Structures are given as C-alpha cells and as structure tokens.
Homo-oligomer: A and B are copies of this chain.
Amino acid sequence: MESQEKDHVVGIDIGGQTIKLGVVDARGEVLAQKVIKTSDDPSPEVVVSEIAEAVKTLITESDMKGRIRGVGVGAPNGNYYTGTIAFAPNLSWASHGSVEFSKMLSKALGGIPVSLTNDANAAAVGEMTYGVAKGMKHFIMITLGTGVGSGIVINGEVLYGSDGFAGELGHTCAVRHNGRMCGCGKTGCLEAYASAIGVARTAREWLEMSDAPSSLRNVPEITSKDVYEAASQGDELAKKVFEFTGRILGEKLADFIEFSAPEAIVLFGGLARAKEFLYEPTLKAMNENVLPLWKNKVKILFSQLKESDAAILGASALAWEL
C-alpha cells in the first residue's frame, strides 16, 4: 500500500465553532469530509490529538492510507512561516499564547507534512486554485464572516509579508472619528462595520436612533441573517443597512486597489450571500473613491465555491506545495 502514489491531500478548516476536514484529489474534488466540534479544551496537546484522530479516521474510511501527500490547515491567526497559531481569540487552546500546530499535528500523524496559514489566506489559495480567481495573478480575497479577513495575492502568490501576518485588511481604519470598538482593541476597523456582527449592530443602532418602520423591530436578538431576510422581503431599513455596509466596504476597497492594483476583489463568506444588496453600493463606493485610472476597471467577484467545500479546498490547496 505504501508504494501507491501520494496523489491526495487533506484540508482542514479550523473555525471557532467547528473544524471541517476533507480528503481532496488533484482536481479539487472533496472525496470525503467530516465536521467535528471545535474543542474548548484549554490544552493544545489534547486538541491536536483530537484533530489527528479525526484525520486518521477520515483517511481510513476513505481508503486513502498511504496516499496522502500532505495536510493543509487554515486557522485564525495561523502563520505560514512558523506553522504556529498564536493568540487566536476564538480558540480556547490558542488564545493565550503560541501553539506550534504544524509540527505537533505532523508528529501526531506519523510524519505527514503539514502546512498552515490563516483562514482568509487559505480561502484565497482555494479561489485561485479552484474558484473565480483561477488564472489571476493579482487579486484580493475579502472574507465577510463573523469578522472580516483578507488574503492578498500578488504575482500568483499569497502575500505573507516580513512576519507571515500580512493581509489584515479587516483591521484597517474605516471610520476615523468616533468609530466603533472592534474586537481587536482598536476603533473604527472595517471589521466593526462590514462583518456579520457589524451588520447586526448597524441595524440595532438604526432602530434605536430612528422611528422608521421595520419588521426588524419584532426580532429580539437581531443577527445579520435577520437583516438579510428582512431586506429580501423588502424592508427598507434592512436594505439601507446593506447600502451603508457596502459603502463603507467599497470606500476601503478603493484604498486596497491603490495599494496593490489587483485585477479583482473576491468576496466570500456568510455575508457575501447578501450579494443582491451589497454588490451595487460596494461597487459604486469603490469606483467613486478610487483614482481615475482604476475607475470601472477592477471587478468585484463573489466566490462560487460551495461554502462547505470552500474552506476545505482552500486549506487543502496549500498542501500541494508541500
């Protein structure tokens, strides 16, 4: 069995709630997958061994023993250079320090090589390998989820910068004065506005500040999904929340274009599902705020990858480089 070609990889997406694992072939087919709950155990050793067990089970069940070339991992605050996950607020076992995740997981898997990056960079690699950015050398991936992440691709490669942490566009400043407090400790970050949490917060603030009628007034704990559903049913206030969100996002996209002159911006993640409400205001604000030379030239694309596969695909694509 050991002599078989190592023509498959494993992708692992580590999130605050769940960990998704999948076996992927060279054409980007997810042949088998598995979801486990993200452990709240505070010990990295325990968590790594849980993940390793899940990987081994998946490999055995899919009859891929000896055929796995490597494992790619996307994780919050994952560092490509060092293979560590450091100070990840949503992961109990990595919130207070730096965990040598790649090394530990590789050891627990009997030496299968492991490559690690942050989740947004993994998404960018997946989009470039299998998605709408296929063939592009210069694009910026923005993940609009609970937070706002980014993966920047330059000359066909993810930008890691001098320390492996480049591409924290969710924490560039969107609102300079009296900006909202962000989870990172700064104020006015893009993430505080253009994330799922930001959208819900905008809706709640506006409901409080105005008397405008809205079906959202009947919702006890408003989430971005509620705002999306209200907008879909024609709720004016909900639609304006997305307009506002798109404007803030588009203004910052203009800045990003002036930095790296990408062919396209690719939007991905839960909030990107509100394409019908986000696209126009984002594009408009982007084009209004960018230098004339880029006006109406840079595309805004929405990821077409199936959400459940995309995270696994992105992470797995890393493993091909091992």
Known A-B contacts A173-B251, A173-B255, A251-B173; the reply to A160 vs B261 at CB < 8 A is: yes
Known A-B contacts A175-B176, A292-B184; the reply to A169 vs B258 at CB < 8 A is: yes
Write the nearest CB–CB distance from A50 to chain B, whole angstroms: 27
Q: How far is the CA of A159 from the CA of B172 in the complex (A)?
A: 20
Q: How far is the CA of A65 from the CA of B184 in the complex (A)?
A: 60
Question: Is A237's CB within 8 Å of the partner chain B?
Answer: no
Question: Is A254's CB within 8 Å of the partner chain B?
Answer: yes
Q: Which of A254-271 contact B (CB under 8 A)?
A: 254-256, 258-263
Question: Is A305's CB within 8 Å of the partner chain B?
Answer: no
- Which residues in B have their C-beta under 8 angstroms from that of A172? 254-255, 258-259
Partner of A162, one of B162, B185, B261: B261
Known A-B contacts A137-B162, A186-B291, A293-B165; the reply to A259 vs B261 at CB < 8 A is: no
Contact with B along A173-206 (1 / 0, CB 8 A): 1011000000011100000000000000000000
Known A-B contacts A186-B291, A251-B176; the reply to A262 vs B167 at CB < 8 A is: no
Q: How many copies of this chain are found per oligomer?
A: 2
Contact with B along A283-294 (1 / 0, CB 8 A): 000000101111
Contact with B along A277-311 (1 / 0, CB 8 A): 00000000000010111100000000000000000
Q: Decide if B256 touches A259 in the complex (CB within 8 Å).
A: yes
Q: How far is the CA of A160 from the CA of B169 in the complex (A)?
A: 19
Write the nearest CB–CB distance from A290 to chain B, whole angstroms: 8
Write the nearest CB–CB distance from A176 to chain B, whole angstroms: 6
Known A-B contacts A176-B176, A291-B186; the reply to A263 vs B162 at CB < 8 A is: yes
Q: Decide if A260 touches B161 in the complex (CB within 8 Å).
A: yes
Q: Decide if A152 touches B259 in the complex (CB within 8 Å).
A: yes
Return the chain B residue nearest A165 by Cβ: B261
Question: Is A171's CB within 8 Å of the partner chain B?
Answer: yes
Known A-B contacts A154-B154, A255-B255; the reply to A260 vs B138 at CB < 8 A is: no
Q: How far is the CA of A153 from the CA of B263 in the complex (A)?
A: 19
Partner of A291, one of B138, B168, B176, B254: B168
Write the nearest CB–CB distance from A98 to chain B, whole angstroms: 11
Q: Decide if B259 touches A169 in the complex (CB within 8 Å).
A: yes
Return the chain B residue nearest A136 by Cβ: B162
Q: How far is the CA of A173 from the CA of B291 in the complex (A)?
A: 11
Instruction: Please name 13 further chain A to chain B contacts, defined as beta carbons within 8 Å, in addition to the given A165-B293, A259-B260, sorted by A numbering.
Output: A152-B259, A154-B159, A159-B260, A161-B262, A162-B262, A163-B261, A165-B294, A166-B260, A167-B259, A168-B259, A171-B291, A176-B251, A184-B291
List A residues at the B interface (Cβ < 8 Å). 87, 137-138, 152, 154, 159-169, 171-173, 175-176, 184-186, 251, 254-256, 258-263, 289, 291-294
